[in-house]
Structure 1
Amino acid sequence: MASLTKFLEEKLKLRVNRDKSAVDRPWKRKFLGFTFYQFYGKIGIRVHQKSINKFKAKIKEITSRSTGKSIDYRMQKLKQCIIGWINYFGIADISKLTKELDEWTRRRLRMCFWKQWKKIKTKHDNLKRLGANEQKAWEYANTRKGYWRISNSPILSTTLTNTYLETIGYTSIHKRYKQVH
């Protein structure tokens, strides 16, 4: 570090921020939200865990149950967030990560729908409208399970399908990544 600092400051006449600067292996450092990895002798780029956590926190904020926002508004904000994130981090190797984030985000959206439906009759009617049979619709409409738990249930996965979510405006993270990449 000392020799690099000396070279940068004396030869190149650059100022080095000693608090932020460090000399280490590339895969041990974070740079502009990215980190690097070595795999079979090749170097790859991935998104740093802090950047992933920040993105998930933003999605949590948009899909929070405690705020009374419409689904259209949530879809619009999600689309903006997803497009911006993918446009920035699209150069990294994140195919598997985008699939996981997509599943998690869709589950959060299903939770929002379930919370908005509130009443048992509304839950039942919406489940029926989306294709659930009568018995299952009443069974799930009357459940006492929490919003997060029910959002991963088979009934919501088969009624609020991925295709349905896309038709109402959800931008798939993985599909967006495939378009950019």
Structure 2
Amino acid sequence: MNYYGVSRMKRFIIETQQWLNHRLRQLIWKRWKKVKTKYSMLRNYGINHDDAMKYANSRKGYWRISRSEVLHIAITKERLTKWGLKDISQLNESRYLKG
């Protein structure tokens, strides 16, 4: 991180953060096993009835659903950080501001 910090680290951190957010959305979606739970959680997070029904009843895989716009609206980056996920880019910036 010290040697490649300025040139390559920034892009690597952004890609890793995006992948982690995607993976966490997948795990959250997988944790909501039942259609009823998926529907009610999507409704709680502000998704309208039609979209919540469509995605809760979808037979698509977890990874594919976690890329959907609906799940990105329901589970935002801000919500993930509120739940305890650290933002890697902020950690990197704070590291270089100190040094």
| Partner Cα distance (2:89, 2:16) in 1 | 8
Larger radius of gyration: 1
Alignment equivalent of 1:144, drawn from 59, 63, 68? 59
Alignment equivalent of 2:27, drawn from 105, 112, 115? 112
Q: 1:99 matched to which residue of 2?
A: 14
Q: 2:90 matched to which residue of 1?
A: 175
Matched residue SS, 1:144? coil
Structure-to-structure mapping, 1:1-181, within 5 angstroms: 45-46=3-4, 91=5, 93=7, 94-181=9-96
| Partner Cα distance (1:143, 1:129) in 2 | 18
TM-score (norm 1): 0.50
Q: 1:70 matched to which residue of 2?
A: none
Deviation for aligned residue 1:122: 0.2
Deviation for aligned residue 1:173: 1.1
Q: 1:77 matched to which residue of 2?
A: none
Deviation for aligned residue 1:151: 0.8
Size of the aligned set, in residue pairs, is 95
| Partner Cα distance (1:153, 1:135) in 2 | 15
| Partner Cα distance (1:129, 1:100) in 2 | 29
Which structure 1 segments of 5+ residues have no match? 1-33, 35-43, 47-90
The one-letter code of the counterpart of 1:125 is S
Query: What CA RMSD, in Å, does the superposition of the two structures yield over aligned residues?
Result: 1.6
Q: Which has the higher strand share?
A: 1
Deviation for aligned residue 1:170: 0.6
Q: Which has the higher contact order (CA 8 A, sep 6+)?
A: 2
Matched residue SS, 1:170? coil
Q: Which has the higher helix share?
A: 2
| Partner Cα distance (1:160, 1:149) in 2 | 15
Which structure 2 segments of 5+ residues have no match? none
Matched residue SS, 1:169? coil
The one-letter code of the counterpart of 2:35 is I
